[in-house]
Structure formats: C-alpha cells, structure tokens
Copies of this chain bind each other. A is one copy, B any other.
Amino acid sequence: MRYELYYWPSIQGRGEFVRLALEEAGADYVDVARLSGRGKGVPALERFLDSRTEERPPFAPPFLKAGELVIGQTANILLYLGPRLGLAPKAEASRLWAHQLQLTVTDFLVEIHDIHHPIAGSLYYRQQKTEARRRAKYFIRDRLPKFIDYFETVLTRNSNGRGYMLGRRLSYVDLSMFQLIAGLRYAFPRTMARVERDIPGLVALHDKVAARPNIAAYLASRRRIPFNQYGIFRHYPELDK
C-alpha cells in the first residue's frame, strides 16, 4: 500500500516521527504537501482540514491516508503503522507499552514547544520572549531532566534489550528517542552538553539509529528537512542557559 503523509512541508515537527518510521521501514509513501501539482502541496492538506463533508476530519496535521482510512494524531499513526512496518512488538501488552512511551514523548514535545510559545501559538516568539525566558528556566531545571531521566531509566531496565527501549528489536519508540536527542541538541546545545553525561544509553541509541542504513540515507537526503526556527525544536541562545 502507498501511504500518503500529510504534514507541513517546511518543518520536521510532529510529522518527523512518522517520516522516520516510514523511512526506516523503506515504506512506499508520499509526503503529499511537499510535492507540487494537482492534488498535492499544502492545498491538498488544507482540503482535509477545511472540508465540510469529511465524516472523520483530523484536528491538525500530521495525518496519514492509508487506503480509505485517514488517521490523525502522531502517536495514533504510529500505533497503526508500527505492526505493519515491523516497528512494534506483536503482544498486546508490549504494544500498549510502546504506545504509552510514545504518548509520553507527545507530552514532552508539548512542553518543548511551549518554551518558546508559553502564551499563544498565534503570537510570534518575540511577542512572548519575557515569558519564554521564565518558562525555559523551569523547563531546563525540572522538566527536561525528569523526562530524559525517565527514558534513560526505561532503556536501562529493558533487561532483555540490546540497547533498545523495549524488547530485543528496534521499534518506532527508538526512532522517536533519536529524534528527541537530535532536536534537544539543536535547541539546547549548552544544556545538552552538560546533561548527556547522565544519559549514556539514550546517546548510544541515538547513534545506533543514525547509523542504520535507511535512516542514514534519509538523513543525508533532501527529504530530511533541516532543523529551523519554525518547528518544535528552536535554538534561541537566551533560552539555553
């Protein structure tokens, strides 16, 4: 099946967690809003969001079209794709556990995003800079360590793992950990330089994912959008103290 991913074409954002899964699996997919032509591009994405007839409209991108199905919410897309792409365990208990971790990634991403947008997503960063500085202080002191120490603990306690987050094989959760570490390094290089000593497992996992042939090829390609100041992870030096 050819999957159609709908996400903003100029940022990694939440869509990147889906892109990484599709790329690792070598899946047949199109990144619809990044193409041009009839039925492509951002208008194709907006057609779903603005539709007056779609019975099950997504609230926001990313969403995935898989045949007749339209699936929204990043973690939900990965819940669906995981077993189909060989990136999730088979047993229900383990699948729920993978999804639980992915939902914790989702929570973390909201907090990361809201550092630079603590007041409103509809305002520019410069319009909420004072509040952002204040929020960043608590994020770096309390929240960042809490989340990454948790993920490191999970990795360490996966007693039958070989450095993966769950089980013995790569899952979409590992790909998400790669993306988290990469994004945090981009946004908070000073903080991460200090913090990474405490999370050797996650750092090794990041490197292991980056070295996988399909991921390495993807990262070197033009399909990988560079980090920039429009996504979730943004580098404002004044927030990285």
Contact = CB atoms under 8 A, between A and B. Distances in A.
A69 B57 contact: no
A157 interface: yes
Contacts of A157: 53-57
B100 A122 contact: no
Interface string A69-110: 101110110011000000000000100110110011011001
A131 interface: yes
A96 B154 CA distance: 26
B56 A97 contact: yes
A36 interface: no
A129 interface: no
A220 interface: no
A216 interface: no
Contact of A123 (B59, B72, B138, B143): B138
Nearest 8 Cβ contacts at the A-B interface:
A120-B138, A73-B103, A59-B104, A73-B100, A72-B100, A118-B118, A55-B157, A76-B100
Given A59-B107, A69-B93, 19 more contacts: A53-B157, A55-B159, A56-B97, A56-B154, A56-B157, A57-B154, A58-B100, A59-B147, A59-B150, A69-B96, A71-B96, A72-B100, A73-B104, A103-B106, A114-B114, A118-B118, A118-B119, A120-B139, A120-B142
